[in-house]
Amino acid sequence: MSRPLRIQYENAYYHVTCRGNAREDIFVDDADRNAFLELLARSAEIYQVDILAFVLMTNHFHIVIKTPLANLQEFMRHFNISYTSCFNRIHHRVGHLYQGRYKSFVIDADNYLMEVSRYVHLNPVRIKKNEILPVKDRRKQLRGYQWSSYPDYISETTRYPWLDRHEVLAYFGGDDPGPGGREVYAQFVESGLSVDIPTPLEKGKGHGIIGDKSFIEKISAHYSKSMEKREVPSLRKIERHINPERILDAVAVVTGVEKTAFLARGYQGIARGLAMELLYRHGGLSQREIGELTGIDYSSVSVGRKRFRTLAEQDEEYRKLVTRIQETL
């Protein structure tokens, strides 16, 4: 059987997991876990990868990452070799630590990043011995599990400065001072303690893509053009990124609204949501970067984009606006 393709492109989101060889433990003690996280942070800095969520179990781990530089393979190779070498040295052993290659799924972030982060964070309470516990006990255990990013998501402070929780929390109202989106996110995750929620990873079986049909077709179409070998080289850009200023200028021209007007506080028209959606879709910018460029709080970027997409689905005139700007660009 051929190995699944490693799909790589700029600003791709992934769920990555690795299991111990023969299901053996990959963490013996907390010193191992601390070393793992230190090496994860170091590797992420070297390869400029964003760590969005993680959980360390006894014989496997899960991480959710974003790769602005389309370098998943390089990052994971460096990180896995680094931790294997460290583990082997400390425990006086040789040989493989992991069971084969790491598994990775590309995530349709707009539709499934929230669900994947919930799946990752619920791992500690999904083991058999915990499934029989009352919900309140499982909630306490979940919130107190040290080797997960979940406590950082629901706390005003974070233990790990390299953890980027902003992108996920932006879907829930952000993590500005005060409870805000953290409480809403906690409710979202902990709803999975009392209700059997389908595992989002099931959507990725066979093709390695966690997404809706249109997203899967978009990714598959770009890869089918270059599938001459079993292992496809990195797709550096699904679409050529366009200078953000060009996008803002095009929005101003097509909508007839001055750039300074739709970027100003209090603006209520459609131009700002349109600009944010195109900056994300064609400018290659993250929601935080869009917020910095436009002077808008990054949590408002997520809300604005979602509102615009809803309008575009309901009104053909909005869809025509997008098409006209794309043709202009």
Write the pLDDT tens digit of every residue in 109-118.
989 999 999 9
Same domain, yes or no: 169 and 304: no
Same domain, yes or no: 155 and 304: no
Query: What is the average pLDDT value for the chain, to the nearest integer?
Result: 86
Same domain, yes or no: 211 and 261: no
Specify the pLDDT at position 177: 56
Query: In the chain, how many domains are there?
Result: 2
Within a domain: residue 234? no
Q: Which of 171, 198, 215 is the last residue of a domain?
A: 215
Structural domain boundaries enclosing 199: 12-215
Same domain, yes or no: 197 and 252: no
How far is residue 14's CA from residue 109's CA, in Å, rounded to a whole number?
9
Question: Is residue 215 pLDDT above 80, yes or no?
Answer: yes
Query: pLDDT class for 179, splitting at 50, 70, 90?
Result: low
Specify the pLDDT at position 328: 78
Average pLDDT over residues 104-126: 95
pLDDT digits (tens, 9 = 90+) for 184-209: 999 999 999 988 888 999 988 888 99
How far is residue 26's CA from residue 83's CA, in Å, rounded to a whole number?
10
- Alpha-carbon radius of gyration of the chain: 21
| DSSP state letter for 176 | -
Alpha-carbon separation of residue 24 from 54, 84, 92, 99 (angstroms): 20, 13, 16, 9
Specify the pLDDT at position 229: 39
Within a domain: residue 75? yes
State the DSSP H helix or E strand holding residue 249, giving kind and residue range, or none if neither. Answer: helix 244-255
Residue 244, Ramachandran bin (φ over 0: left; ψ between -120 and 50: alpha; else beta) = alpha
Average pLDDT over residues 240-251: 81
Give me the CATH number covering residue 253: 1.10.1750.10
Give me the CATH number covering residue 188: 3.30.70.1290
Within a domain: residue 230? no
Same domain, yes or no: 165 and 262: no
Within a domain: residue 320? yes
Same domain, yes or no: 98 and 177: yes
Same domain, yes or no: 154 and 97: yes
Residue with the bigger pLDDT between 322 and 286: it is 322
Same domain, yes or no: 202 and 291: no
Residue 101, Ramachandran bin (φ over 0: left; ψ between -120 and 50: alpha; else beta) = beta
Q: Which of 215, 233, 267 is the last residue of a domain?
A: 215
Within a domain: residue 94? yes
pLDDT digits (tens, 9 = 90+) for 157-171: 889 999 999 899 988
Same domain, yes or no: 40 and 168: yes
How far is residue 114's CA from residue 72's CA, in Å, rounded to a whole number?
20
Within a domain: residue 7? no
How far is residue 114's CA from residue 181's CA, in Å, rounded to a whole number?
13
Within a domain: residue 232? no
Q: Which of 215, 233, 265 is the last residue of a domain?
A: 215
Within a domain: residue 165? yes
Average pLDDT over residues 86-104: 92
Same domain, yes or no: 30 and 128: yes
Same domain, yes or no: 66 and 145: yes
User: Quick check: helix, strand or coil at residue 130?
Assistant: helix
Same domain, yes or no: 75 and 163: yes
